[in-house]
Amino acid sequence: MPKLIKYTLEFSEKDKKWTLKNDKTKKMAKSFKTKASAIKGGALKRALGKNGGSVKIQKQNGRIQEVRTYHR
């Protein structure tokens, strides 16, 4: 079984948005206007798609708030 891809949801000062980035490639997978819109209603799960993944959710100051795992 392949390992889950790791992502980080972080605040971008430059864009003033919350971005979901692949930890390995540093490419942005999706951006959200607010943190609430990113973590509510299954938005992260939909952004990761059918392959799932592990998401570190940061506070605006950069500290880790929580980690969520979405399985295949």
pTM beyond 0.85: the answer is yes
Cα(28)–Cα(21) distance, rounded to whole angstroms? 4
Rounded CA separation 44/37 (Å): 9
How high is the pLDDT of residue 1?
57
Q: What's the pLDDT score for residue 41? A: 84
16: left (phi over 0), alpha (psi -120 to 50) or beta: left
Domain boundaries, the chain: 6-70
DSSP bridge partners of 57:
9, 66
- Strand 17-22 relative to strand 64-70, pairing: unpaired
